[in-house]
A = this chain, B = another copy of it.
Amino acid sequence: MERRKIKVVVIGGVAAGPKTAARLRRLNPEAEITIVEKGKVLSYAGCGMPYYVSGDVAESKNLMDTPAGVIRDSLFFLNVKGISVLDRTLAEKIDRKAKTVSVVHLETGESKILPYDKLVLATGGSPIELPIPGKDLNHVFRMWQPEDALSMREFIHQEKPKKAVIIGGGLIGIEMTEALAKQGLQVRVLEMLPLILPGLLDEEIAANLSRYLRLKGVDVRCGTRVTRIEGDDQGNARKVITEKGEVNADMVLIAVGVRPNSRLAKEAGLEIGSIGDIRVNEYLQTNDPDIYAGGDCVRNIHLLTGKPVFAPMGSTANKQGRVIANNIMGYGEKFKGILSTAVVKVFDYNVGKSGLTETQAREAGFEVVTTLVPSSDIPHYYPTKKPLLLKLIADRKTRKLLGMQGVGPGEVVKRIDVLATAMTLGATIDDLPALDLGYAPPYSTAIDIAAHAANVLRNKIDGIAPFLTPREVKEMADRGEDFLLLDVRSPEEYKEKRIEDPRLKLVPLGMLRRRIAEIPRDKNIVTLCKAGLRAYEAQTILAGAGFKDVRVMDGGIEGWPYEVKSDKT
C-alpha cells in the first residue's frame, strides 16, 4: 500500500479521533482523512463541562473553540487541517472484507458507504445506566455530552432548584459537587461503596476528603445504595430512595461510571474485552490489523501490574490519537500503558492519585509498605503555605514506588506529577530523595514532602523506625490491647484536636527527657504528634533511654481518619 495516498476513516470526533486525524495530516499531506461524528462540534472540552455548570466557564462556546477563538466545526477542520468531517453522522456498520463503513446522516437520513485503507475507532464511552425505577424522570441528569451541561445549567437558571442529589461519588460526582454548590444548591452525594472516589483513594485520604466536603455543607453518604427515584405528578424527580432512607431532590445527577462503546466493533467481529472494551495490542491495533482503536472505548495496560485497567481520561485519549496516527504511517510506536492517574479540584481542595492504591497493591500481591505524611506544602514561615496529606505506597521487596495519593488545600498535583513521572520511569523509593527538585520558599520546603515521604518509607523498610499505621493503632485499641498512647504535642494542640482514649498520655516533646520517669517501662508505647515528626523524635529519645517496644503512629493526628475530640465547638 502506498502510504501517501492512504484513505483513513476515523469514527468519533471528540478526543482520540480528531487527534489521530490532525497528527496524520501533519505526517501525510496527501492522505484522505474523514472523521465521522454524530455531533456538530468536534474536539470539544468534555472535561470542562462541570465548570460550565458551575459558571466558571461563562459561555458554552468556550468549550468548543480553539485558543485563538475559532469554533472547531467541520469547516474549521476542512479549512485549517484539510480533514473532511461528516458531522451529525452515525457509523452503522463496518464491512471488514470490503473495507467500508456505512454511515447515515442523523438529520437527512442519507446513507453513505465510506471505503478505508485504515479505520480508527474512537467511539468513546457512555455513562452507565442505573437499573432503577425513576431514572428517566424529568430533572434526572447525566454529565457526559455538551448537551448535558447545557440543559443542566439552563434548568438551574430557569427553575432555581434547591436540592441536588448526586448518585455516585466518583470523579464526575465529586467535580459536580462543587459546580452545583456554586450555583447555590444544597448537595448530597450518595455512594454505594464505603468510600468516595472508590478505587482511587484509600481510607485515610477518602476520609479526609469526606470530612472536608461535610465542612463545606455537602452531605456525603457512603455505603448507600439507591433503589429508586420518585417523581411528582408532572413526572419531575422529587425523591431519591436508598436502602438507608430517602432524601428530597429537585434534581438528580446519575454519575456511576462509564462503559466503553463497542457495539460497532463487536458487530464487525472484532475482539471485545471483559468489560465490553475493544481489545487492542500495544500499537493500539485491534485483531484486524487495519483497524485501530483508542480513547474511552479501550482498556489500557497498568504500568505497575501489567494488567488491563479501564481508566477513561481525555489525556490518555489524546496521547493515543497521536500514537495511532504514527502507527498508521508505519512508525511502530508503542503505547506502553497508564498509571490511572486522576486529579480533581473540589472547592479549595486538591485531590488525586497515581499508581495503585494500597488495596490494589495488596490485591496485586505486592509486599506493601505505606506512609502517611501530613505537611505544609511550602515552609511553615511562608504566608501562602497550605496543608496537604500525602500517602505513598511501595513494595518492600523491589523498593519500587507503587502508588501515591494526596489531599488538601496545599499543592498536591505537582507531587502527583513528579511521582507519576518517577513511577513511569521505574523509580525506587531510594531514587526519590535524591531528585533535584526546584527549591525556593514560595514553592517547596528544602526537602520536598514527596522526598520526605520516600525517606519515611526507606526508614520503615530498613527497620530504622518502627511505625504503625492509623488502622493498626485503631485495631490494637479496638481489640482492647494494653499500651501507652504517648501524645507529645503541646497542651494547646491537645485541646484543639485529640484521640479520646484512656490509654493516652500527654507529654510535650520538649519535656520528655525530663519527665521520662513517668513513662512506664512495662508497656508497649505508641508515640503520636500532629504530623509524625515529633513522635519520631520521641521514639528516638525513648529508644535511646532503653525503652524496648516504642513505635510511631504514622501520619499523626492529621493523618488519623477516625473520630477525634475537640474542646472547640
Contact = CB atoms under 8 A, between A and B. Distances in A.
A339 B418 CA distance: 15
Contacts of A544: 29-30, 82
Nearest to A382: B51
A336 B80 CA distance: 49
Contact of A443 (B29, B343, B434, B440): B343
A482 interface: no
Given A322-B433, A338-B436, 8 more contacts: A45-B441, A62-B381, A79-B513, A82-B541, A175-B440, A314-B439, A315-B439, A414-B414
A340 interface: yes
A15 interface: yes
Interface string A512-540: 01000000000000000011011011001
Contacts of A30: 544
Interface stretch (A63-71, A139-147, A213-221): A63-71
A565 to B, nearest CB: 21
Given A383-B56, A424-B436, A27 B464 contact: yes
Q: Which 3 A-B pairs have the closest CB atoms?
A: A29-B544, A343-B438, A315-B439
Interface in A331-358: 335-336, 338-345, 350, 352, 354
| Chain A: interface size category | 35 or more
A234 B435 CA distance: 50
A422 B420 contact: no
A379 interface: yes
B435 A29 contact: no
A81 interface: yes
Interface string A447-468: 1100100010001000011000
Contacts of A448: 315, 417
Nearest to A57: B381
Interface of A: 15, 25-27, 29-30, 45, 47-48, 51, 56-57, 62-63, 65-68, 70, 76, 79-82, 175, 303, 313-319, 322, 335-336, 338-345, 350, 352, 354, 376, 379-383, 413-414, 416-418, 420-422, 424-427, 431, 433-444, 446-448, 451, 455, 459, 464-465, 489-490, 509-510, 513, 530-531, 533-534, 536-537, 540-541, 543-544
Nearest to A303: B436
A318 B447 contact: yes
Contacts of A435: 417, 420-421, 424
A557 to B, nearest CB: 13
Contacts of A318: 446-447
Q: How many copies does the complex hold?
A: 2
Contact of A48 (B48, B350, B379): B379
A534 B354 CA distance: 33
11 contacts: A57-B383, A62-B381, A80-B509, A317-B446, A318-B446, A322-B455, A420-B435, A421-B425, A421-B435, A424-B431, A425-B425
A436 B82 contact: no
Given A79-B510, A318-B446, A431-B424, A436 B339 contact: yes
A420 B439 contact: no
Given A431-B425, A443-B343, A541-B82, A436 B57 contact: no
A451 to B, nearest CB: 8
B420 A343 contact: no
A68 B530 contact: yes
Contacts of A424: 431, 434-436
Contact of A70 (B82, B175, B510, B530): B510
A564 B447 CA distance: 42
Given A68-B530, A335-B434, A424-B435, A314 B48 contact: no
A82 B315 CA distance: 51
A439 B537 contact: no
B314 A446 contact: yes
A80 B510 contact: yes
A518 to B, nearest CB: 16
B446 A15 contact: yes
Contact of A438 (B63, B80, B416, B543): B416
A519 to B, nearest CB: 15
